Chain A
Amino acid sequence: MAESPESLQVLRYDAAAASSIKKTIWRLANKLGSKKIKLMNFCGTHEWTTVHFGLRSLMPPNVELVAGPGCPVCVTPSYYIEQAIKLSMDGVRVFSFGDAFKLPSLRRVKGARSLEDAKALGGNVEVVYSFLDAVKKASKDGKDSVFLGIGFETTTPSYSIPLYGGHVPENLYFMSVLRLTPPAASYAIEAALERGVTPVQGIIAPGHVSTITGAKPWDEMARRFGIPAVVSGFEPLDLLMSIAMLLKMIWEGEARVVIEYKRLVSWEGNRYVQEVNSRVFSVEDAAWRGLGFIPESGLELKGSYAAHDAFKEFGVKRLSAEEWSYDLPAACKCADITLGLAKPTDCPLFKRVCMPEHPIGPCMVSLEGTCAVWARFGGGGLAEEIAKEVGV
């Protein structure tokens, strides 16, 4: 076996392979006639690959690739960012991932609109690579700390395994804003149906989320909505193959899931993590930024693990459905973009006022935020051009 990760590079980019798959895609799209086919991804990294490698420009005119809720940073309610800012200003050390550090809140807290601001204003904020790093630091210095626990299913084990194993020191508290992908995906598909826009006809299911959940939830969704799903990898050839597979299933009227990303994803997923998660977390209704409450879409610490609950320890209230209010800046279209109902170029602020260096809305922050991806790689009018080609 060749030395890897280099072996993975075979899927990176191969002009001949890409052009052959492109032919297959066009052939299938042709069979489907002129009606618009909308395929939705649910992962920021899929959107990154799509834009970075210009995959939209390879699509036939009737195939439209749209981005759904794919980035856990973008959907973290402003309220929780504000609470984290407040804690840091009160002297509690707040650990955060790099992109949540820059995430703008709606309201200023003691002059700060992000954890980054808070730090500049004397707040106690520390950016770490992972929860494990925070565990080590907090164990060593014994200081009261909070970890801003953002993430989808993929990020859950980095928290749940140290918690379950009893490796987290007493002075480290966890503020869970963990969110689950399949409920949000259903929500996005339903939103399109309700608004009467072109319905989603195929699901490009997130490869790394599915490493944890398995392909099963996507199969349930495929059957429920009567549309096919493909669990896809993240290299350009993975995505092209997945698109071809989806079109073939659409043409044959199949509504089930196929795993393209077999090198990592199984039907059942990571049973070990599923088991540990089920002991550490309970599934609750949860707020998504700009969207509101989605049933059974969030995770909270439960049982004895609640001893690490930052909400309890610091008396921070959890948002309730009644208290939640729309939490995006005026004119920001992140909500519709997250649902695949709008594209970044529809926003009047896109690249005029709102830029990766100076984000106004949350989708411009994380590397995987749809606006950030378009701004970084769709520059020079290319984004508009691509959009025109796709006809959105």
Chain B
Amino acid sequence: MCWGVPARVVEIREYTAIVDFGGGSTREVVLAANGIKEGDLVMVHAGAIIGRISEEEILSSLELYKEMATSLADSEERREIEEYIQRYKQLLGVGHK
């Protein structure tokens, strides 16, 4: 019952929303967060939208980690870390800002 599943908001209704879990599977769920818009990526838990997933912030956990890891790493490893964070940025389409 407790799994959080990410989904895309398709339609906002009175106190509910229609979300798309991918692959065309949609469902009506309770809207339990402020400021949710159509098209947002959200977390659905037990039939309610509990929050918006910030796609920008996905990177920030990686940055947070990078900062910590590089302060401890040797130069070889530092390069590895840089490399995979770069790869993620590209995957997320924010690579070359």
Contacts and interface: CB of A to CB of B under 8 A. Distances in A.
Contact of A154 (B4, B7, B8, B28): B4
Contacts of A16: 80, 83-84
Nearest to B63: A262
Given A1-B55, A1-B92, A99-B1, A24 B46 contact: no
Contacts, number: 184
Interface in A323-368: 366-368
Q: Is the interface of A mostly helix, strand, loop or mixed?
A: helix
B48 A157 contact: yes
Interface string A162-188: 100101000000000000000000000
A5 B8 contact: yes
A367 B3 contact: yes
Interface in B51-65: 51-55, 57-58, 60-61, 64-65
Given A23-B73, A167-B15, A244-B69, A8 B2 contact: no
Interface in B8-44: 8, 14-16, 22, 27-34, 41, 43
Interface in B64-96: 64-65, 68-69, 72-73, 77, 80-81, 83-84, 88, 91-94
A127 to B, nearest CB: 11
A325 B91 CA distance: 54
A289 interface: no
Contact of A27 (B34, B45, B72): B72
A131 B68 CA distance: 42
Contacts of B4: 45, 154, 207-208, 234
* Interface of B: prevailing SS: mixed
A248 B32 contact: no
A263 B61 contact: yes
Contact of B8 (A4, A11, A45, A157): A4
Contacts of A4: 6, 8, 41, 53, 55
A255 to B, nearest CB: 17
A211 B93 contact: no
B1 A14 contact: no
B79 to A, nearest CB: 10
What are the 5 closest A-B residue pairs judged by CB atoms, nearest first?
A130-B47, A157-B32, A158-B48, A263-B57, A97-B1
10 contacts: A5-B7, A8-B6, A20-B84, A131-B30, A132-B28, A158-B30, A161-B31, A263-B58, A273-B32, A367-B2
